[in-house]
Structure 1
Amino acid sequence: MSALTKAKGFKKSKAGTYLSMGTTAFGAISVAKQVKKARLEHDTLKLVDAIVSAAAIATGIALLYRELKRLGDDDVLLG
């Protein structure tokens, strides 16, 4: 099995899904900073942009959570 095939399999595993959730959630730090800066500058457009980014992160986390539930216990890479 090639390394590329293993990497593609990891993406669809529980561990890969947890990693994706973590990196997506890490983006929330950037959005929080963006919101804080927009509020300090009283910049409505930047605040709207930050809110839309936060909604995208929340949607991404929800999709990954659904994928994690779908994987259930039939994950072949972890056990």
Structure 2
Amino acid sequence: MSSALTKAKGFKRSRAGTYLSIGTTAFGAISVVKQARTARGEHDTLRLVDAVVSGVAIVTGVALLLRELKRLGDDDVLLG
């Protein structure tokens, strides 16, 4: 069982795992956009603020993942 956990942790830090994380994070942006549209339509300021904060969190998360992807690329001797 620990071998499977080790493989899962290794995948998370791999290029493919990072791309998957970027994709799932970006997919979460769809619900934030829907939330913002609904909040604007209903003139619900609190929900709109929540959508904006969630959007900023998504942007920050993607930026961190892109930085990790760049770091993984810098470590790859075949790319250099």
TM-score, scaled relative to structure 2 = 0.88
Partner of 2:16: 15
Structure 2 gaps of 5+ residues are none
The amino acid that maps onto 1:2 is S
Partner of 2:28: 27
Deviation at 1:15, TM superposition (A): 0.2
2:48 equivalent to 1:44:
no
2:63 equivalent to 1:62:
yes
The amino acid that maps onto 1:20 is S
Structure 1 gaps of 5+ residues are none
The amino acid that maps onto 1:68 is L
Aligned-residue RMSD, C-alpha: 1.4
Aligned-residue sequence identity (percent) comes to 79
| CA distance, structure 2, for counterparts of residue 31 and residue 49 of structure 1 | 9
| CA distance, structure 2, for counterparts of residue 47 and residue 2 of structure 1 | 44
The C-alpha deviation readout for 1:7-29, integer Å capped at 9, x for no partner, is 11000000000000000000000
1 or 2 for the larger relative contact order (CA 8 Å, sep ≥6)? 1
Deviation at 1:73, TM superposition (A): 5.8
TM-score, scaled relative to structure 1 = 0.89
Other structure's SS at 1:72 match: helix
How many residues align? The count is: 75
Bigger proportion of residues as helix:
2
